[in-house]
Amino acid sequence: MIFSTVCNLLLAHNLDVTQGQELNLKKLNTSEKITSTHAVAWEKQLIAYEESLRANPWQKQLQSIAHNKMLLTGVVLGLIVLGLAILGPVFYDADYARQSLRNAHKPPFFEGYFLGTDSYGRDMAIRLFIGFRVSLLVAAAVTALSLLVGVMLGMIGGYLGGSTDRVVRSSTDFIWGFPLILVAVLLVGGLGEGLFPVILAVGIVNVAAITRVVRGEVVGLKEKEFVEAARAAGVSSYRIMWRHLLPNVLAPALIMASYLIAVAVIAEAALSFIGLGAQPPLPSLGKMIADGRGFLRINHWEATIPGIGIVVLVLAVSMIGDGLRDHFDPRLRHERGRKKNK
């Protein structure tokens, strides 16, 4: 409470002085002009202070982003990974499927192989880059899918309430507690191997998470005045959900999604480690680890490189997610404080 007091104190700066206006000091309630030089000087100081607070908002955003080390590191890492994934194969011309048993198990920097070769003599570097592509692709697909379905389900369940809500809630609780691997194995059993069942499996689990978050938000928002006002005005439920609830719900949903991207990457890796997911010769970071597993003594790079790749990718994603969240969250509190005083 004292902090809010302090904030109120510090933010109650907005005397209604517009920029560039002539100093027009009068004694309040009279038309006498104040002649004291001290008064004039003070008013100038005040206007200057006011202006400094209204300084370029973009500048302030960039400033606070620059201070946010986590976000920065994450972005840097992410750019590296993205660069390698997209541009790597462009500049590093190699075939990820080409085997060369003569050159198998070579460490990095051996002849032309930047990161060495695996047990089949395939180029590790290009496989790493393509592996990044696969991971990013799966993560993107999973996130898009889970956001779409999750937001929809969450809004429907949260807003409509009643039995619909109970169904939504129980199913999400159920899925959320389920070990991912079991879901994936079962799905693969039904749908066969390949990327699609993996995307579906991870997607389903992530949908549950997003639905939960969205539903929670909607239930909270449902009681707010602007929803009641819309309802009283006769706006249809569908419209309310679309125009009023959706924008408010997007923020927490996206924050959750940023966590889930990391989950998706690790899940895909875990599943491909077991053998589900991307089928050879398409490289997948998890599968590469599985392949390299038996050769740790001969050439540990085969297993360590894809592992490091996964770690870097997940780190990048989580740091960006965390940094964004930190960036927006305390700001939100700040902004609310400001609005109250205006």
Q: How far is the CB of 102 from another protein (least distance, A)?
A: 26
Tell me if 52 sits within 8 A of 304, measured CB to CB.
no
Q: What are phi and psi of 237, to 5 degrees?
A: -55, -45
Site for another protein in 235-274 (CB under 8 A): 262, 266, 269-270, 273-274
Tell me if 146 sits within 8 A of 115, measured CB to CB.
no
Tell me if 74 sits within 8 A of 322, measured CB to CB.
yes
Rounded to whole angstroms, the Cα distance separating 296 from 294 reads 6
Q: How far is the CB of 223 from another protein (least distance, A)?
A: 18
Largest CA distance in the chain: 98
Rounded to whole angstroms, the Cα distance separating 215 from 19 reads 44
Contacting range for another protein; rule: CB under 8 A; set: 59-67, 83-91, 113-121, 294-302: 294-302
Establish if 185 lies at the interface with another protein (CB under 8 A): yes
Rounded to whole angstroms, the Cα distance separating 262 from 143 reads 10
Identity of residue 342:
K
Establish if 148 lies at the interface with another protein (CB under 8 A): no
Contacting range for another protein; rule: CB under 8 A; set: 30-38, 88-96, 140-148, 246-254: 30-38
Establish if 31 lies at the interface with another protein (CB under 8 A): no
Residue 167: Cβ within 10 Å count:
12
Establish if 328 lies at the interface with another protein (CB under 8 A): no
Site for another protein in 301-320 (CB under 8 A): 303-304, 307, 310-312, 314-315, 318-319
Establish if 35 lies at the interface with another protein (CB under 8 A): yes
Rounded to whole angstroms, the Cα distance separating 107 from 125 reads 11
Residue 111: closest CA among 266, 193, 102:
102
| Closer to another protein by Cβ: residue 148 or 308 | 308
Q: Which residues bind another protein (CB under 8 A)?
A: 1-3, 5-6, 8-10, 12-15, 27-30, 34-36, 38-39, 41-42, 45-46, 49, 170, 173-174, 176-182, 185-190, 262, 266, 269-270, 273-274, 286, 289, 293, 296-297, 300, 303-304, 307, 310-312, 314-315, 318-319, 322
